[in-house]
Amino acid sequence: MFEPPTKIPDPDAPIRATDNDAAIARLSAVRKGYLIDPYIAALVPRAHLQQPRAPLINIGTYLRSRGIDHLVDGWLRLAGGRKVQIVSLGAGSDTRYWRLANGPHAAQLQRYIEIDFAENTSRKIMSIRKNRVLNAALGNGGSADNVFVGGGGTVLRAPVYNLFPADLRSPPATSLAPILTSRSAAAGNAGAGDIHDVDDDERPMLSPTLPTLLLFECVLAYMDPAGSDALVRWFVDYFVSAPPHAGAPLGAIVYEMFKLNDAFGRVMLNNLKSRNVSLPGAEPYRDLASLSRRLLDSGFATAQAVTLREVRRRYVEPRELQRLAQLELLDEVEELELVLDHYAISWGVRFPEGWREGGGDNAKGGWEKTRKRRNVHSIARRQGGMWVPYEPG
Protein backbone atom coordinates (compact mmCIF):
# COMPACT_ATOMS: atom_id res chain seq x y z
CA MET A 1 0.00 0.00 0.00
CA PHE A 2 2.74 2.42 0.96
CA GLU A 3 5.47 2.90 -1.59
CA PRO A 4 8.93 3.14 -0.02
CA PRO A 5 10.13 6.74 -0.35
CA THR A 6 12.06 7.15 -3.56
CA LYS A 7 15.57 8.32 -2.97
CA ILE A 8 16.01 11.74 -4.50
CA PRO A 9 19.04 11.45 -6.74
CA ASP A 10 21.87 13.78 -5.87
CA PRO A 11 22.44 15.85 -9.04
CA ASP A 12 26.00 16.73 -7.98
CA ALA A 13 27.13 13.14 -7.45
CA PRO A 14 28.18 12.68 -11.11
CA ILE A 15 30.17 15.95 -10.97
CA ARG A 16 31.97 14.86 -7.83
CA ALA A 17 32.64 11.49 -9.42
CA THR A 18 34.63 13.14 -12.21
CA ASP A 19 37.39 13.42 -9.64
CA ASN A 20 37.60 9.65 -9.54
CA ASP A 21 38.09 9.57 -13.32
CA ALA A 22 40.86 12.18 -13.12
CA ALA A 23 42.63 10.38 -10.28
CA ILE A 24 42.43 6.96 -11.93
CA ALA A 25 43.71 8.44 -15.20
CA ARG A 26 46.66 9.90 -13.32
CA LEU A 27 47.34 6.62 -11.55
CA SER A 28 47.32 4.88 -14.92
CA ALA A 29 49.73 7.42 -16.47
CA VAL A 30 52.06 6.96 -13.50
CA ARG A 31 51.99 3.16 -13.67
CA LYS A 32 52.66 3.20 -17.40
CA GLY A 33 55.71 5.41 -16.87
CA TYR A 34 54.44 8.69 -18.33
CA LEU A 35 54.54 10.61 -15.05
CA ILE A 36 56.21 10.31 -11.68
CA ASP A 37 53.84 10.77 -8.76
CA PRO A 38 54.51 8.81 -5.59
CA TYR A 39 51.35 10.19 -3.91
CA ILE A 40 48.45 9.46 -6.22
CA ALA A 41 47.99 5.77 -5.27
CA ALA A 42 47.22 6.77 -1.68
CA LEU A 43 44.34 8.95 -2.89
CA VAL A 44 42.67 6.43 -5.20
CA PRO A 45 40.33 3.96 -3.50
CA ARG A 46 41.37 0.35 -4.18
CA ALA A 47 44.25 1.60 -6.30
CA HIS A 48 45.64 -1.90 -6.72
CA LEU A 49 42.46 -3.00 -8.52
CA GLN A 50 42.34 -0.16 -11.04
CA GLN A 51 42.81 -1.08 -14.68
CA PRO A 52 45.15 0.99 -16.89
CA ARG A 53 43.56 3.58 -19.13
CA ALA A 54 43.89 3.69 -22.93
CA PRO A 55 47.13 5.16 -24.34
CA LEU A 56 45.24 8.22 -25.58
CA ILE A 57 44.07 9.03 -22.05
CA ASN A 58 47.53 8.42 -20.63
CA ILE A 59 49.09 10.82 -23.13
CA GLY A 60 46.42 13.46 -22.50
CA THR A 61 46.96 13.15 -18.75
CA TYR A 62 50.69 13.48 -19.23
CA LEU A 63 50.38 16.63 -21.37
CA ARG A 64 47.86 18.29 -19.05
CA SER A 65 50.02 17.57 -16.04
CA ARG A 66 53.24 18.59 -17.69
CA GLY A 67 51.80 21.85 -19.03
CA ILE A 68 50.31 22.88 -15.69
CA ASP A 69 53.38 21.76 -13.71
CA HIS A 70 55.52 23.89 -15.97
CA LEU A 71 53.34 26.95 -15.39
CA VAL A 72 53.28 26.43 -11.64
CA ASP A 73 57.03 26.04 -11.58
CA GLY A 74 57.34 29.23 -13.65
CA TRP A 75 55.08 31.06 -11.23
CA LEU A 76 57.26 30.08 -8.28
CA ARG A 77 60.32 31.28 -10.14
CA LEU A 78 58.57 34.52 -11.04
CA ALA A 79 58.06 35.11 -7.34
CA GLY A 80 61.85 34.98 -7.09
CA GLY A 81 62.13 33.08 -3.83
CA ARG A 82 59.35 35.03 -2.09
CA LYS A 83 56.64 33.21 -0.18
CA VAL A 84 53.55 32.41 -2.28
CA GLN A 85 50.02 31.11 -1.87
CA ILE A 86 48.32 28.62 -4.15
CA VAL A 87 44.55 28.11 -4.18
CA SER A 88 43.24 25.06 -6.02
CA LEU A 89 39.51 25.23 -6.78
CA GLY A 90 37.81 21.89 -7.36
CA ALA A 91 41.04 20.24 -6.27
CA GLY A 92 39.62 16.73 -6.00
CA SER A 93 42.38 14.18 -5.41
CA ASP A 94 45.08 16.36 -6.87
CA THR A 95 48.56 15.59 -5.50
CA ARG A 96 50.25 18.85 -6.53
CA TYR A 97 50.62 20.02 -2.94
CA TRP A 98 52.69 16.97 -1.98
CA ARG A 99 54.77 17.17 -5.12
CA LEU A 100 55.59 20.82 -4.37
CA ALA A 101 56.07 20.26 -0.64
CA ASN A 102 58.67 17.62 -1.41
CA GLY A 103 60.26 19.57 -4.27
CA PRO A 104 62.85 22.32 -4.66
CA HIS A 105 60.38 25.19 -4.07
CA ALA A 106 58.89 23.81 -0.85
CA ALA A 107 60.24 26.68 1.26
CA GLN A 108 58.28 29.19 -0.84
CA LEU A 109 54.89 27.74 0.06
CA GLN A 110 53.24 29.93 2.64
CA ARG A 111 49.76 28.54 2.08
CA TYR A 112 48.29 25.87 -0.15
CA ILE A 113 44.50 25.90 -0.04
CA GLU A 114 42.22 23.37 -1.71
CA ILE A 115 38.44 23.63 -2.10
CA ASP A 116 35.94 21.01 -3.23
CA PHE A 117 32.51 19.65 -2.36
CA ALA A 118 32.31 18.39 1.24
CA GLU A 119 31.93 14.77 0.17
CA ASN A 120 35.23 14.97 -1.71
CA THR A 121 37.12 16.86 0.98
CA SER A 122 36.11 14.34 3.64
CA ARG A 123 37.20 11.44 1.43
CA LYS A 124 40.54 13.13 0.78
CA ILE A 125 41.06 13.91 4.46
CA MET A 126 40.49 10.26 5.37
CA SER A 127 43.06 9.19 2.79
CA ILE A 128 45.57 11.79 4.00
CA ARG A 129 45.17 10.85 7.65
CA LYS A 130 45.66 7.17 6.84
CA ASN A 131 48.90 7.78 4.97
CA ARG A 132 52.16 8.50 6.79
CA VAL A 133 53.84 10.18 3.81
CA LEU A 134 50.91 12.48 2.99
CA ASN A 135 50.53 13.39 6.67
CA ALA A 136 54.17 14.18 7.15
CA ALA A 137 54.15 16.94 4.55
CA LEU A 138 51.23 19.01 5.82
CA GLY A 139 53.50 21.82 6.97
CA ASN A 140 55.64 22.87 9.87
CA GLY A 141 58.63 20.77 8.98
CA GLY A 142 56.69 17.55 8.84
CA SER A 143 55.30 17.75 12.36
CA ALA A 144 51.68 16.69 12.62
CA ASP A 145 51.14 18.57 15.89
CA ASN A 146 49.48 21.49 14.18
CA VAL A 147 47.03 19.57 12.03
CA PHE A 148 43.35 20.00 12.89
CA VAL A 149 40.44 18.18 11.34
CA GLY A 150 36.91 19.44 11.94
CA GLY A 151 33.61 20.27 10.31
CA GLY A 152 32.56 16.64 10.66
CA GLY A 153 35.75 15.56 8.93
CA THR A 154 35.34 17.89 5.95
CA VAL A 155 37.93 20.54 6.90
CA LEU A 156 41.63 20.09 7.39
CA ARG A 157 43.85 22.91 8.57
CA ALA A 158 47.62 22.72 8.85
CA PRO A 159 50.33 25.37 8.79
CA VAL A 160 50.73 25.20 5.02
CA TYR A 161 48.14 22.80 3.59
CA ASN A 162 44.43 23.59 4.07
CA LEU A 163 41.41 21.82 2.65
CA PHE A 164 37.91 23.32 2.86
CA PRO A 165 34.46 22.31 1.63
CA ALA A 166 32.47 24.74 -0.48
CA ASP A 167 30.13 24.75 -3.43
CA LEU A 168 31.88 27.03 -5.89
CA ARG A 169 28.56 27.86 -7.55
CA SER A 170 27.38 29.70 -4.45
CA PRO A 171 28.10 33.44 -4.34
CA PRO A 172 31.75 33.81 -3.21
CA ALA A 173 30.75 36.44 -0.66
CA THR A 174 28.91 33.77 1.32
CA SER A 175 30.87 30.63 0.39
CA LEU A 176 34.54 31.59 0.01
CA ALA A 177 34.83 34.87 1.89
CA PRO A 178 34.10 33.34 5.31
CA ILE A 179 36.79 30.72 4.72
CA LEU A 180 39.48 32.71 2.97
CA THR A 181 39.23 36.35 3.88
CA SER A 182 37.50 36.61 7.23
CA ARG A 183 39.84 37.86 9.95
CA SER A 184 38.11 35.87 12.63
CA ALA A 185 38.33 32.12 12.98
CA ALA A 186 37.75 31.37 9.34
CA ALA A 187 37.29 27.68 9.78
CA GLY A 188 34.51 28.21 12.30
CA ASN A 189 32.49 30.06 9.73
CA ALA A 190 33.14 27.25 7.32
CA GLY A 191 31.34 24.92 9.66
CA ALA A 192 34.48 23.50 11.15
CA GLY A 193 33.23 24.03 14.68
CA ASP A 194 35.96 22.43 16.69
CA ILE A 195 38.84 23.86 14.70
CA HIS A 196 41.23 26.37 16.18
CA ASP A 197 43.08 28.92 14.16
CA VAL A 198 46.37 27.21 13.42
CA ASP A 199 48.27 30.47 13.38
CA ASP A 200 46.52 31.76 16.46
CA ASP A 201 46.34 35.26 15.06
CA GLU A 202 43.94 37.46 13.15
CA ARG A 203 45.39 37.13 9.67
CA PRO A 204 43.00 35.92 6.99
CA MET A 205 43.63 32.49 5.49
CA LEU A 206 44.36 34.15 2.13
CA SER A 207 46.57 37.21 2.22
CA PRO A 208 46.06 39.85 -0.52
CA THR A 209 49.71 40.86 -0.17
CA LEU A 210 51.42 37.61 -1.18
CA PRO A 211 51.97 36.44 -4.77
CA THR A 212 49.07 34.05 -5.35
CA LEU A 213 48.27 31.48 -7.98
CA LEU A 214 44.74 30.19 -8.62
CA LEU A 215 44.34 26.75 -10.15
CA PHE A 216 41.13 25.78 -11.92
CA GLU A 217 41.98 22.35 -13.25
CA CYS A 218 38.95 20.93 -15.00
CA VAL A 219 36.34 22.56 -12.77
CA LEU A 220 34.92 25.72 -14.38
CA ALA A 221 33.32 23.70 -17.17
CA TYR A 222 30.90 22.19 -14.62
CA MET A 223 29.64 25.60 -13.51
CA ASP A 224 27.46 28.00 -15.40
CA PRO A 225 29.52 30.80 -17.00
CA ALA A 226 28.03 33.56 -14.83
CA GLY A 227 28.98 31.63 -11.70
CA SER A 228 32.53 30.93 -12.82
CA ASP A 229 33.01 34.56 -13.91
CA ALA A 230 31.83 35.74 -10.49
CA LEU A 231 34.25 33.32 -8.83
CA VAL A 232 37.31 34.46 -10.78
CA ARG A 233 36.30 38.10 -10.44
CA TRP A 234 35.94 37.75 -6.68
CA PHE A 235 39.59 36.73 -6.35
CA VAL A 236 40.72 39.59 -8.58
CA ASP A 237 38.71 42.11 -6.53
CA TYR A 238 40.18 40.78 -3.31
CA PHE A 239 43.70 41.37 -4.61
CA VAL A 240 42.77 44.79 -6.02
CA SER A 241 41.65 45.71 -2.50
CA ALA A 242 45.16 45.24 -1.05
CA PRO A 243 46.56 48.34 0.66
CA PRO A 244 48.44 50.70 -1.69
CA HIS A 245 52.00 49.50 -2.50
CA ALA A 246 51.39 46.25 -0.62
CA GLY A 247 49.68 44.34 -3.43
CA ALA A 248 51.02 41.18 -4.99
CA PRO A 249 50.75 39.51 -8.39
CA LEU A 250 47.76 37.27 -8.94
CA GLY A 251 48.02 34.47 -11.50
CA ALA A 252 45.42 31.99 -12.69
CA ILE A 253 45.70 28.76 -14.63
CA VAL A 254 42.59 27.23 -16.15
CA TYR A 255 42.50 23.80 -17.77
CA GLU A 256 39.38 22.53 -19.49
CA MET A 257 37.59 21.31 -22.58
CA PHE A 258 36.54 23.88 -25.18
CA LYS A 259 35.32 24.11 -28.79
CA LEU A 260 32.54 21.64 -28.08
CA ASN A 261 30.29 23.06 -30.80
CA ASP A 262 31.84 20.81 -33.49
CA ALA A 263 31.10 17.16 -34.26
CA PHE A 264 33.69 15.86 -31.82
CA GLY A 265 32.39 18.14 -29.08
CA ARG A 266 28.82 17.03 -29.62
CA VAL A 267 29.82 13.37 -29.22
CA MET A 268 31.71 14.24 -26.05
CA LEU A 269 28.73 16.12 -24.62
CA ASN A 270 26.37 13.23 -25.45
CA ASN A 271 28.68 10.73 -23.78
CA LEU A 272 28.80 12.84 -20.67
CA LYS A 273 25.03 13.36 -20.75
CA SER A 274 24.55 9.61 -20.50
CA ARG A 275 26.45 9.87 -17.20
CA ASN A 276 24.31 12.85 -16.08
CA VAL A 277 27.19 15.28 -16.47
CA SER A 278 26.78 18.52 -18.40
CA LEU A 279 29.35 21.17 -19.21
CA PRO A 280 27.52 24.52 -19.19
CA GLY A 281 30.79 26.30 -18.50
CA ALA A 282 32.39 25.13 -21.73
CA GLU A 283 29.60 26.41 -23.97
CA PRO A 284 30.79 30.01 -24.54
CA TYR A 285 34.39 28.99 -25.24
CA ARG A 286 34.69 28.06 -28.87
CA ASP A 287 38.25 29.12 -29.62
CA LEU A 288 41.50 29.94 -27.85
CA ALA A 289 40.82 33.67 -28.06
CA SER A 290 37.66 33.27 -25.98
CA LEU A 291 39.62 31.48 -23.24
CA SER A 292 42.20 34.27 -23.00
CA ARG A 293 39.49 36.89 -23.14
CA ARG A 294 37.64 35.38 -20.20
CA LEU A 295 40.70 36.03 -18.02
CA LEU A 296 41.13 39.56 -19.34
CA ASP A 297 37.48 40.33 -18.80
CA SER A 298 37.84 39.16 -15.21
CA GLY A 299 40.60 41.68 -14.58
CA PHE A 300 43.84 39.94 -15.52
CA ALA A 301 46.26 42.14 -17.44
CA THR A 302 47.64 39.50 -19.76
CA ALA A 303 46.32 36.14 -20.80
CA GLN A 304 47.25 33.29 -23.08
CA ALA A 305 45.87 29.92 -24.10
CA VAL A 306 47.29 26.84 -25.77
CA THR A 307 45.73 23.51 -26.73
CA LEU A 308 47.14 20.21 -25.50
CA ARG A 309 47.74 19.42 -29.16
CA GLU A 310 50.14 22.34 -29.37
CA VAL A 311 51.74 21.47 -26.05
CA ARG A 312 52.60 18.08 -27.54
CA ARG A 313 53.69 19.43 -30.90
CA ARG A 314 55.73 22.38 -29.82
CA TYR A 315 56.68 22.19 -26.19
CA VAL A 316 57.68 18.61 -25.49
CA GLU A 317 61.32 17.93 -26.33
CA PRO A 318 61.90 15.42 -29.18
CA ARG A 319 63.78 13.11 -26.83
CA GLU A 320 60.85 13.08 -24.43
CA LEU A 321 58.43 12.38 -27.31
CA GLN A 322 60.60 9.40 -28.24
CA ARG A 323 60.47 8.15 -24.68
CA LEU A 324 56.67 8.45 -24.66
CA ALA A 325 56.40 6.63 -27.99
CA GLN A 326 58.18 3.65 -26.45
CA LEU A 327 55.83 3.36 -23.50
CA GLU A 328 52.78 2.18 -25.42
CA LEU A 329 51.72 1.59 -28.98
CA LEU A 330 49.58 4.43 -30.28
CA ASP A 331 48.29 3.81 -33.77
CA GLU A 332 45.71 6.58 -34.02
CA VAL A 333 47.73 9.79 -34.03
CA GLU A 334 44.99 11.65 -35.92
CA GLU A 335 42.43 10.72 -33.30
CA LEU A 336 44.84 11.75 -30.57
CA GLU A 337 45.34 15.14 -32.17
CA LEU A 338 41.60 15.64 -32.54
CA VAL A 339 41.03 14.93 -28.87
CA LEU A 340 43.97 17.05 -27.71
CA ASP A 341 42.70 19.93 -29.83
CA HIS A 342 39.62 20.17 -27.59
CA TYR A 343 41.50 20.68 -24.33
CA ALA A 344 43.31 23.87 -23.48
CA ILE A 345 45.35 25.47 -20.76
CA SER A 346 44.85 29.20 -20.37
CA TRP A 347 46.62 31.46 -17.91
CA GLY A 348 46.62 35.09 -16.95
CA VAL A 349 48.34 37.39 -14.55
CA ARG A 350 47.75 40.81 -13.04
CA PHE A 351 50.36 42.90 -11.29
CA PRO A 352 49.68 45.48 -8.63
CA GLU A 353 50.73 49.06 -9.07
CA GLY A 354 54.44 49.47 -8.56
CA TRP A 355 55.30 45.82 -9.06
CA ARG A 356 58.62 45.65 -10.82
CA GLU A 357 58.40 43.25 -13.73
CA GLY A 358 61.25 40.83 -13.79
CA GLY A 359 61.64 41.26 -10.04
CA GLY A 360 61.68 37.49 -9.84
CA ASP A 361 63.94 35.01 -11.50
CA ASN A 362 62.82 35.15 -15.10
CA ALA A 363 64.86 32.18 -16.12
CA LYS A 364 63.69 29.82 -18.83
CA GLY A 365 60.36 28.38 -17.93
CA GLY A 366 59.28 31.50 -16.01
CA TRP A 367 56.24 33.54 -16.98
CA GLU A 368 58.61 35.67 -18.96
CA LYS A 369 58.18 38.27 -21.67
CA THR A 370 57.02 36.63 -24.81
CA ARG A 371 58.06 36.61 -28.37
CA LYS A 372 55.34 36.23 -30.96
CA ARG A 373 54.40 32.60 -31.17
CA ARG A 374 52.32 30.71 -33.62
CA ASN A 375 49.34 28.78 -32.29
CA VAL A 376 49.47 30.24 -28.84
CA HIS A 377 46.75 32.76 -28.32
CA SER A 378 48.04 35.75 -26.39
CA ILE A 379 46.45 39.03 -25.49
CA ALA A 380 47.92 41.77 -23.36
CA ARG A 381 46.28 44.94 -22.23
CA ARG A 382 49.33 46.13 -20.42
CA GLN A 383 52.28 47.21 -22.44
CA GLY A 384 55.26 44.94 -22.07
CA GLY A 385 53.34 42.75 -19.74
CA MET A 386 53.21 39.46 -21.57
CA TRP A 387 54.38 36.38 -19.78
CA VAL A 388 54.70 32.93 -21.23
CA PRO A 389 55.54 29.68 -19.56
CA TYR A 390 56.97 27.56 -22.29
CA GLU A 391 60.19 27.43 -24.17
CA PRO A 392 59.86 25.16 -27.20
CA GLY A 393 62.05 22.08 -26.78
CB of 140 to ligand SAM, least distance (A): 25
Going by DSSP bridges, is the β-strand pair 161-165/155-157 parallel, antiparallel, or unpaired? antiparallel
**How far apart are alpha carbons 216 and 364 in whole angstroms?**
24
Contact 352, 302 (CB under 8 A): no
Cα 95-96-97 angle, rounded to 5 deg: 95
Our finding on whether 37 is near ligand SAM (CB under 6 A) is no
DSSP type of residue 7: P
From the list 129-137, 162-170, 271-279, 368-376, the region that binds ligand SAM by CB under 6 A is 162-170
CB of 94 to ligand SAM, least distance (A): 5
Beta strands in 29-103 (DSSP E): 84-89
Question: Binding residues for ligand SAM, how many (CB under 6 A)?
Answer: 20
From the list 214-222, 231-239, 285-293, 345-353, the region that binds ligand SAM by CB under 6 A is 214-222
Residue of 15, 125, 344, 345 that binds ligand SAM (CB under 6 A): 15
From the list 190-198, 219-227, 229-237, 345-353, the region that binds ligand SAM by CB under 6 A is 219-227
b/e 130-145 (16+ beta carbons within 10 angstroms → b): eeeebeebbbeeeeee
Residue of 97, 98, 222, 235 that binds ligand SAM (CB under 6 A): 222
Our finding on whether 168 is near ligand SAM (CB under 6 A) is yes
In 3D, which of 108, 96, 84 has the Cα closest to residue 207? 84
Instruction: Report the chain's C-alpha Rg in angstroms.
Output: 21
Residue of 125, 156, 186, 223 that binds ligand SAM (CB under 6 A): 223
Going by DSSP bridges, is the β-strand pair 343-350/250-257 parallel, antiparallel, or unpaired? antiparallel
Our finding on whether 310 is near ligand SAM (CB under 6 A) is no
Nearer to ligand SAM, 29 or 219 (CB): 219
Residue of 28, 85, 120, 181 that binds ligand SAM (CB under 6 A): 120
**How far apart are alpha carbons 249 and 350 in whole angstroms?**
6
Kindly identify the residues of this chain, within the stretch 78-107, that bind ligand SAM according to CB under 6 A: 90-92, 94
Question: For binding to ligand SAM (CB under 6 A), which residues are involved?
Answer: 15-16, 18-19, 22, 90-92, 94, 116-117, 120, 167-169, 217-219, 222-223
